[in-house]
Amino acid sequence: MEKSLTRNGVTLFYEVLGSGPTLLLSHGFGASAAMWAPQREALSAKHRLILWDMRGHARSDSPEDPAAYSEAETVADMAAILDAEGAASALVGGLSLGGYMSLAFALSHPERVDGLLLFDTGPGYKQDEAREKWNGFARRQAEKYESRGLEAAPKGPETEGAAHRSATGLANAARGMLAQVNARVMLGLDSIAVPTLVLVGAEDKPYLGAADYMARKIPGASQVVLPAAGHAANLDQPEAFNAAVLSFLEDHFSRA
């Protein structure tokens, strides 16, 4: 079922499928809820699956004010969606930027997170120099959208079907959401106290080290490395991805 809500003047688009324990999945930068197409049926069979478009992306609004884009605003958007669906807590997960925001949500609202699913993502940077290098990448993404419009959208399996409406929204999202301001998330990993799945594609070289780090730092985390999968592991190997996620959910959250 397609739904929307408006928070502080920004309308967010989301979908709800199935019934059962709530599972909120967040997409990567430049992608949309469409990237979860191979997971819709499998993950909604026993769960209430919520898929959403982040602000600045696809069907959700793209406010003009750059200050409307941040980690804090994204976390608040996620909380608002759960509130709208009457979910006091949920399983929370995502890929790439969506995974990072899921971590940020868990650290901001630990009482609302039953479990974490982190796909092809990282926890940020402890060193200012490394963070600034990443932020330079984020700024370049923004500049591409500002100079080339929607033609600058990254080409990859996870961005297919993402019907973006605003290059300005994506530029603002790059500067305000993709860029990072501190090491809060990385420094908070050892405080996570819920079952956590860390999954990464074996060919997603930039994120293999981050996956190993998170699996070590998050107490009791489970780690899966999917062969023959890159950054969009859920699309490169959908059957193996779904099997890994369902196995994790069954192991930790199955009802007697």
Spans of all domains in the chain: 2-253
The architecture that CATH gives domain 2-253 is 3-Layer(aba) Sandwich (3.40)
The number of CA neighbours under 13 Å toward the Cβ of 17 is 17
Residue 37 φ/ψ, nearest 5 degrees: -50, -45
SS3 250: helix
Query: What's 203's DSSP letter?
Result: T
From the DSSP assignment, how many helices (H) and strands (E) are in the chain?
A: 9, 8
Beta-sheet pairing, 222-226 with 48-52: unpaired
pLDDT of residue 95: 98
pLDDT of residue 154: 76
Q: How many residues does the chain have?
A: 256
Which residue do the tokens 């669906």 mark? 85
Yes or no: say if 177 and 29 are a contact pair by the CB < 8 Å rule: yes
pLDDT of residue 256: 43
DSSP E strand stretches across 1-122 = 2-7, 10-17, 22-26, 48-52, 90-95, 113-119
Cβ count near 227 (within 10 Å): 10
User: From first to last of its 256 residues, what are the pLDDT tens digits of the chain?
Assistant: 999 999 999 999 999 999 999 999 999 999 999 999 999 999 999 999 999 999 999 999 999 999 999 999 999 999 999 999 999 999 999 999 999 999 999 999 999 999 999 999 999 999 999 999 999 999 999 999 999 999 888 778 888 778 899 999 999 999 999 999 999 999 999 999 999 999 999 999 999 999 999 999 999 999 999 999 999 999 999 999 999 999 999 999 976 4
Instruction: Compute and round to an integer the Cα radius of gyration of the chain.
Output: 17
Q: What pTM does this model have?
A: 0.96
